[in-house]
Amino acid sequence: MASGKSGAELVKQWGCVNCHKLDGPERLVGPSLWDIGARQDKRYILESILDPDAVVVPGYPPGVMKSTLEGMGFYQKVALADLKALVEYLASLQGQPGGEKQ
């Protein structure tokens, strides 16, 4: 079942924000995603979520995102519509203060 939540809510619900900064360029456990929509396309973003180790960003540890999301049951529980909302939201982030481009 889709949660009906926005992408901005979903990144909090699923703990993405524990490892990724979304409102600034600083690195946490993982790379900042605040400009991911300017750097990558939706296909890459979707793959990065579904199969985090398919492409490992240089300088960051493999396995940690995957094992954390697996441990939360993300891959069993996340609804397709929520996955789409996450990808759309991340693709909208262009590295601008204040978040999404209009």
Binding residues for ligand HEC, rule: CB under 6 A, are 11, 14-16, 18-20, 29-31, 33, 36, 40, 45, 48-49, 52-53, 55-57, 60-62, 64-65, 68-69, 86, 90
| Shortest distance (Å) from residue 24 CB to ligand HEC | 14
Asked if 37 contacts 92 with a C-beta cutoff of 8 angstroms, the reply is yes
Q: In the complex, what is the shortest distance from the CB of residue 44 to ligand HEC, in angstroms, rounded to a whole number? A: 7
Q: Can you tell me the distance from the alpha carbon of 29 to that of 38, in angstroms, rounded to the nearest whole number?
A: 21
CA separation for the pair 78, 57 (Å, rounded): 24
**Chain centroid to CA 58: how far?**
17
Nearest-approach distance from CB 102 to ligand HEC, in angstroms: 22
